[in-house]
Amino acid sequence: KTFTVDPVYNKQNDRVICFGNVSNVIRSVSKTKHPASMMMLGIVASTGDQDAADLVPDRLLKTKITKKSGKSSYVFQQDGAPAHTCKAVQDWMETNMKFWPKTMWPPQSPDLNPLDFSFWWHVESQ
């Protein structure tokens, strides 16, 4: 998930209906062309806190997850982001890990992604 310094603005929900002089009522929303941002990785595990810092480099990813899960089964879940669905990533995952390919996750399914469903909303609202 990427967070930016710009405020969250939803065109669908943040509407203004006005009658009369429009110039006094309309609020402008300024957007930065390239806002400062921060990428975050979220890990949810049934066994409690997990150390995410060592999971990012691909040479450590498989080893670290296998070591943490032990003999327990796990599934590495990705969303439909282009970086996750490109052929190179899908091929690497198929070769190196137990995962469900992009075709197994229906699009726009927040109930299948607990981080998108509730956690990121909570972080954004803070």
For residues 115-125, average pLDDT: 69
* Segment 70-86, tens digit of pLDDT: 777 777 777 777 777 88
Find, among 73, 79, 72, the residue nearest to 104 by Cα.
79
Spans of all domains in the chain? 2-125
Cα–Cα distances (Å) from 51 to 59, 70, 92, 121, in that order, read 16, 15, 22, 22
Question: Which neighbouring-strand residues pair with 99?
Answer: 76
pTM score, whole prediction: 0.44
d(CA 32, CA 4): 10
Q: Tokens 């956690």: give the residue.
A: 119
Look at 9-18, 53-62, 93-102, 110-119 and tell me which has the smallest mean pLDDT. 53-62
